[in-house]
Chains A and B, each alone.
Chain A
């Protein structure tokens, strides 16, 4: 559908000035050079006019493409959320049995005196390993359920600048230790936003934490707010960190996507943020350049 539309507009782009030019040609021959010149200017003008129009159409198309992508992304996330919470539920039950059997084995083992010293050491080491891996799985499934649970937001008036400033202050001390500066570029007289304050705090804190992680040391985080004048306000968190490779950018909001080493971080942080922002009626997007940094942009409706 979209392909057809843009193909047609490109065709129109060239056809119309050509026709105008052709129409002006015989006039120029019979009615003098002036007419021809006028027609030529007209044709040229219309050519530029159409080019401009087509450019606008293409831009609008790109925007709608982005919107489509966002829609697909959120539908995908909803589906994954549903699926993963189902799986987490199913896994919790066998996990509970494994955990209990380990505890039972440990109980039997502690009350027995049969095995040799060396075997005992290995046996108890294995048991410890099984139970710590069960703990690890449990951590994942419980976090996943936290992520998927449908908590309805409670909408109340939020002073956005102040809320962000509070969270920045919380991150600032640890950031300073690594020589990371936090710059606040808040628009004054930002309108009060109706949203869920603790949810927003969670998202801002998460983004600031990710930004410090991306910078590691020596860099700047710029956090800004502005009124978009379209019923929405915009929050941007920009870091001067290592940036995100293009192939990762599309997956960044997917649950379990992480670049951290195994065992650190579950890869749920950003998908939780995405879920939250969606539930309060906003959008979150990301742009990034390798070795330059990353910017997360949140757009929130002023009234729900």
Chain B
């Protein structure tokens, strides 16, 4: 398993706590925050490789957060996570540069596999720019 840093952003506290614990159990360096604004704040201090971003959140939703992240930290790969399959927001998300758009509930193994691919992409892009 390559070592990368993951930030999970979700306003549902129970879900957030569980997923972060389960990822940590798999030896993945995972952190959780409860809103888009908290995520932006944390990104200013700490760098992450991958973000798991819930689409439906109060105040600043996932799409808005994604827009902001891609503007300020274009190298971070973002996987959108959604409870409601919405084609419109899916298209928006992909157009704004998300790596993937995944429906809840997602199997942990699938999610980890997608993270590995997203991380591979991040490394490849860094190599390409250099």
Residue positions of A touching B, CB distance < 8 A: 146, 152, 154-156, 166-167, 169-174, 197-198, 201-202, 205-206, 208-209, 212, 272
Contact = CB atoms under 8 A, between A and B. Distances in A.
Contacts of B94: 198, 201-202, 205
**B87, B97, B121, B125: most-surrounded residue (chain A CB, <10 A):** B87
B3 interface: no
Which 4 pairs of residues, A with B, have the shortest CB-CB distance? A202-B94, A173-B85, A154-B124, A154-B125
A197 B120 CA distance: 12
Contacts of A174: 85-87
Nearest to B90: A170
A173 B101 CA distance: 15
A154 B120 CA distance: 10
Interface residues of B, number: 20
Main secondary structure of the interface of A (DSSP, over half): helix
Contacts, number: 57
Given A170-B90, A198-B94, A209-B91, A156 B117 contact: yes
Contacts of B85: 169-174
A197 B121 contact: yes
Contacts of A171: 85, 87
B98 interface: yes
B9 interface: no
Nearest to B88: A209
A201 to B, nearest CB: 5
A205 B90 contact: yes
5 contacts: A154-B121, A166-B102, A197-B121, A205-B94, A206-B91
A152 B128 contact: yes
Contacts of A173: 85
A202 B99 contact: no
Contacts of B100: 166, 197-198, 201
Contacts of B97: 198
B46 interface: no
